[in-house]
């Protein structure tokens, strides 16, 4: 399905509600359930009163009312649903992201509202448990891994050198497939190697640079091949890390040119957005909108949780 900015779902709140109902509940609401008593569709119906807002449903089983936004990132939001859909469309079609300040002007809300809406949409982009359980790579496949650094996580003492003051990111990429990025506390072998083993199939060919933290990687995979960037070696046959380096190029251009500054406690959310768009790069705008709206179910993110979020620099198992 092709979608452009002239679509009614971006300008008409009632059309946006109908679109969300179609995505969540299917045609004619065949998957509609009461969120309180789980009643079947035949026990629920749209209220006929002119005094009720559009999209309000009544359950004959428990006498409760509900809307299609219950249990999604849109729940309890005072922003019209058509602006939510417009924001999702703008975020998912911008390869290198869109800043909250730019989106504030485009959809006509305050900066704080645009910022919190963006993070709620990133919450919807998070991979599911089923997706995280599927390991990257496999027999005959190639996975590349590397680390990069961004910003500062504290003030440097005079004369300090190295990368210790920067935020650390480790990415694993299946060549021609998906990628996963993690904000880690350090880039030591005892941190990076368990992360790679948790997310990559053991029958995979692993490709890295010459960093010593990967020296023991070949013990757990089909093979481990490296390129020596210090000697200006960037490819040897099909042995290279160009795919993961390309993902870092998009990441750095997004951080430097679009987002500019990100607090450490929210860095993982920006990584989720960039991974999501990389992993769904074969989908058109209409598919991206529908997929993102579909994933918004069951992923509420309250304002309190955003305000009191703590830095997530330690990955736990397969958790993002």
Each domain of the chain, given as residue ranges in start order, spans 1-31+71-125+282-320, 131-246
Query: What would the pLDDT profile of 39-52 be if each residue is shown by its tens digit?
Result: 888 889 888 777 88
Q: Look up the CATH architecture of domain 131-246.
A: 2-Layer Sandwich (3.30)
Q: Please give the backbone phi and psi of residue 201, each rounded to the nearest 5 degrees, phi first.
A: -65, 140
The pair of structure tokens assigned to 80 is 């019209």
Per-residue confidence in pLDDT tens, the chain, 320 aa: 567 788 899 999 999 999 999 999 998 889 999 999 988 888 898 887 778 889 999 999 899 999 999 999 999 999 999 999 999 999 999 999 999 999 999 999 999 999 999 999 999 999 988 999 999 999 999 999 999 998 876 666 666 667 777 889 999 999 999 999 999 999 999 999 999 999 999 999 999 999 999 998 889 999 999 999 989 999 999 999 999 999 999 999 999 999 988 888 899 999 999 999 999 999 999 999 999 999 999 888 888 888 777 666 544 444 44
For residues 76-91, b (16+ Cβ closer than 10 Å) or e, as one string?
Answer: ebebbbbbbbbbbbbb
pTM comes to 0.90
d(CA 207, CA 233): 13
Which tokens in the block code for residue 301?
């993110």
Q: Tens of pLDDT along 100-159?
A: 999 999 999 999 999 999 999 999 999 988 999 999 999 999 999 999 998 876 666 666
The C-alpha angle with vertex 307 and arms to 311 and 116, in degrees rounded to 5, equals 105
């Amino acid at each position: 399905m092709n979608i452009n900015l002239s679509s009614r779902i971006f300008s008409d709140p009632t059309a946006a509600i109908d679109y969300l109902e179609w995505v969540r509940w299917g045609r004619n609401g065949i998957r509609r359930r009461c969120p309180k008593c789980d009643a079947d569709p035949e026990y629920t119906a749209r209220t006929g009163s002119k005094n009720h807002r559009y999209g309000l449903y009544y359950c004959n089983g428990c006498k409760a009312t509900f809307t299609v936004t219950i249990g999604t990132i849109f729940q309890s939001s005072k922003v019209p649903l058509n602006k939510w859909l417009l924001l999702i469309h703008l975020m998912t079609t911008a390869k290198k992201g869109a800043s909250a300040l730019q989106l504030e002007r485009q959809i006509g809300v305050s900066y704080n509202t645009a910022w919190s809406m963006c993070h709620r949409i990133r919450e919807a982009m998070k991979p599911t448990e089923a997706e995280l359980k599927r390991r990257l790579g496999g027999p005959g496949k190639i996975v590349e891994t590397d680390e990069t650094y961004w910003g500062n996580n504290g003030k440097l003492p005079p004369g300090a050198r190295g990368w210790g003051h920067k935020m650390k990111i480790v990415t694993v990429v299946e060549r021609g497939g998906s990628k996963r990025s993690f904000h880690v506390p350090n880039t030591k072998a005892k941190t990076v190697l368990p992360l790679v083993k948790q997310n990559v199939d053991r029958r995979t060919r692993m490709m890295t640079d010459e960093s010593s933290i990967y020296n023991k990687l070949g013990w757990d995979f089909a093979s481990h091949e490296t390129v020596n960037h210090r000697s200006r070696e960037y490819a040897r046959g099909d042995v290279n890390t160009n795919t993961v380096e390309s993902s870092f190029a998009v990441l750095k251009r997004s951080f430097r040119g679009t987002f500019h500054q990100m607090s450490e406690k929210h860095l993982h959310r920006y990584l989720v957005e960039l991974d999501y768009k990389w992993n769904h790069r074969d989908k058109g705008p209409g598919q991206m909108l529908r997929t993102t709206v579909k994933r918004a179910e069951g992923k509420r993110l309250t304002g309190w949780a955003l305000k009191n979020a703590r830095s997530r620099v330690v990955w736990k198992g397969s958790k993002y």
